[in-house]
Amino acid sequence: GLVTVATILAYTTLLEESAENLISTYVDENIESAGALIRLAMNAVPAALFLWYRQRFALTPNEKKLWTLMSLIAIGLFLAFFPTSLSTALDRMALYIIPLQLFVFAHLPDAMGAFGRRNQSVVALILLYYALVMFVWLNFANHSHRWIPYQFGLT
């Protein structure tokens, strides 16, 4: 009861105007984000890997619940891209899921290989994956010319 009242009061006082602004910006104006599908897929890949190998991750039950939920959200955001025109909103929400990439790829060598060993082939595949991501980004992204060599408006 009291938590519900406090939540409603806090929303109307602090967030209602911002929420309306965000909805009008991302939904009503129907703006599109170039590369949103790629960024959503970059979260969906480790999410799928975590869900596939989650029994092999050395985690407490609460940690497993957290990362399972994050993985399901990442896959949900990826799947929501196709039937909707909310690429920018989905892209912005996916920013909060990026830690999933760090967590999964840091623990994947132990989950896929022998725990406590180097598992160099898994590490090499992860490094190759991110090298490919960087290559594509730096060579094909809309604004890649601004990043090589760190060229921005002041130069």
pLDDT in tens, 71-88: 999 999 999 999 988 888
Q: Where are the domains of the chain?
A: 1-30, 31-146
Kindly list the distances between the CA atom of residue 104 and the CA atoms of 1, 7, 42, 119, 143, in Å, as whole numbers in the listed order.
Answer: 38, 33, 12, 15, 28
- If you search the block for the tokens 């909805």, which residue do you land on? 23
- pTM here is 0.75
Could you count the other beta carbons within 10 Å of the beta carbon of residue 67? 22
CA dihedral 62, 63, 65, 67 (to 10 degrees): 170
pLDDT in tens, 33-46: 778 899 999 999 99
88, two tokens: 């920018």
pLDDT score at 102: 96
Give the mean pLDDT of 22-36. 70
Q: Which residues contact 98 (CB under 8 A, 6 or more apart)?
A: 43
135, two tokens: 């290559």
Distance CA 4, CA 138 (A): 48
Give the mean pLDDT of 12-24. 73
pLDDT score at 86: 82
Cα of 106 vs its chain's centroid, Å: 15
- Say if CB 64 and CB 54 are below 8 A apart: yes
- Say if CB 58 and CB 115 are below 8 A apart: yes
